[in-house]
Chain A
Amino acid sequence: MPVMNIKKFSFTYPGVSDPSLKNITLPIKKNKITALIGPSGCGKSTLLRSMNRIHDLYPGNKYEGKIDLLDFESGKYKNILDIKKENEFIKLRQQVGMIFQKPTPFPMSIFDNVAYGLKIDGIKNKSELSDRVEAALKGSALWSEVSDRLGKSAMGLSGGQQQRLCIARAVAVKPEVLLFDEPTSALDPISTAAIEELIVELRNDISIAIVTHNMQQASRISDYTAFMYLGDLVEYDKTENIFLNPKEKRTEDYITGRFG
């Protein structure tokens, strides 16, 4: 059962006549990593950002189709495109977290960064906060590097550490899905390798969708790959099939570097 089902989904930005995404149907499988690849401007990030309605920070977007998110308690799907209330948006973005290309630590302490989402969620007990922060930082392979300076500013961390902090912040609220938008494109190779290992580890507990321009990254870490081109979903399959025996010529041309 997929954790998220995107069905005949189209998206149009405000003030634009043509849709940027056309009739996309794509499952996000539970406890798997789904990579979205394609040339610049194909709609990968647009699709990713639709999955937690982050476009709706600005009004005027036009949606068609459905994005169904599985409610683990009831076992039923709920269409997130029906969400209208602010508190429902907040809950959605806790369930479907996002990590951006540029690390975005808040200008506060390491502890407060991770605790931020927990406090919004209503957790006030200091002991519980400490435990959850520690668990999140351990889950993001950052605890051993920052445990002695949780009160220090997060801005003092390196790029790779800041990105792991952002992951810890997202993981602290126990999301069901994590969306990664080119999470390592601003990082050096060593930090990239650390983040990739972390993402693969996180898959055991969380379903993941990742946009990447780095095809080798997609092939290394993902279980499923979706190739997009000019707003269309061209091909979706298990990663080993996409990279070994793609069915579509456009997919093969892209992954062999003939375009894009």
Chain B
Amino acid sequence: MLPTFKTNLDEVKSKITSIGEDLVKANELILEALKDCNQELFNEARNSIKNITSRTDEIDNAIIKILALYTPEAKDLRRVVAYFKITNEVARACSNTRSFIRGFTAVCNDLEIKTINEYTLPMQASTVKAIKTSIMMINIDDTDELQEMYEEVLIEENKADDLYEMIERNLVSEAENSAQSFEKFHKMLKALRKSEKIAGRAISVANLLVYIKLGGTIHN
């Protein structure tokens, strides 16, 4: 591999990892913030994923340049295409994170912390584990380790899905008992949906990283 090609690829990988780590940090801060509806921590989480659009634009343009100049094939082509898609997934996860913060800032004003914690903490914990593991996978080369981590992400994503469904059922029944609370619980559910989406993006990222290593076809 030409040194310049490798350098360009490594730079793209490094930039994606950097945005991914900021995304993980934001969600970890959210998890802490949810415990006592800490507005400062929510703000810190929001700040850690600022300027994502310009950073992802930079990565996209770098990838286009790599495709034009180096015409990669086989594993190199899979890597470049996967990085393109991973950047998009991470950018959307950042957008979901911002929406989650926005949604929950309103929820914190409406509902008791005890109620919030009962439902959101386990789910957000699963989301954090899923996204953290998938971002760590970017720098893993060993196939077996990659497969193991993929299974971990899958487990956490499934957990987040199951928890969301459970929360949805519980909230609907609670809201039915109290019509006044219905809107508040609906807001919380809407915000939690974003957390579930972030976990969904984590599994997409993990899928793409496995695709780089093992090949096959891309599944959306």
Residues of A within 8 A of B (CB): 193, 196-197, 200, 216, 219-221, 239-240, 243-244
Q: Chain B residues near A193 (CB, 8 Å)? A: 2
Q: How many B residues touch the partner, as a band?
A: 10 to 19
Q: Chain A residues near B70 (CB, 8 Å)? A: 219-220
0/1 string, B78-118, CB within 8 A of A gives 1: 00000000000000000000000000000000000000000
Cα A254 to Cα B185 with chains together (Å) = 61
The segment from B61-69, B141-149, B170-178, B203-211 found at the interface with A is: B61-69
Q: Chain B residues near A239 (CB, 8 Å)? A: 69
A200 to B71, Cβ gap below 8 A?
Answer: no
| B90 → A minimal CB distance (Å) | 24
Residues of B within 8 A of A (CB): 2-5, 64-65, 68-71
A220 to B69, Cβ gap below 8 A?
Answer: yes
Binding site of B, secondary structure by majority: helix, strand, loop or mixed?
A: helix
| A88 → B minimal CB distance (Å) | 37
Cα A200 to Cα B70 with chains together (Å) = 14
Binding site of A, secondary structure by majority: helix, strand, loop or mixed?
A: helix
Q: Chain A residues near B64 (CB, 8 Å)? A: 244
| A254 → B minimal CB distance (Å) | 15
B4 to A244, Cβ gap below 8 A?
Answer: no
Shortest Cβ distance from A239 into B: residue: B69
A220 to B65, Cβ gap below 8 A?
Answer: no
| A219 → B minimal CB distance (Å) | 5
Q: Which of B3, B68, B71 contacts A244 (CB 8 A)?
A: B68
Q: Chain B residues near A220 (CB, 8 Å)? A: 2, 4-5, 69-71
Q: Which of B2, B65, B71 contacts A197 (CB 8 A)?
A: B2
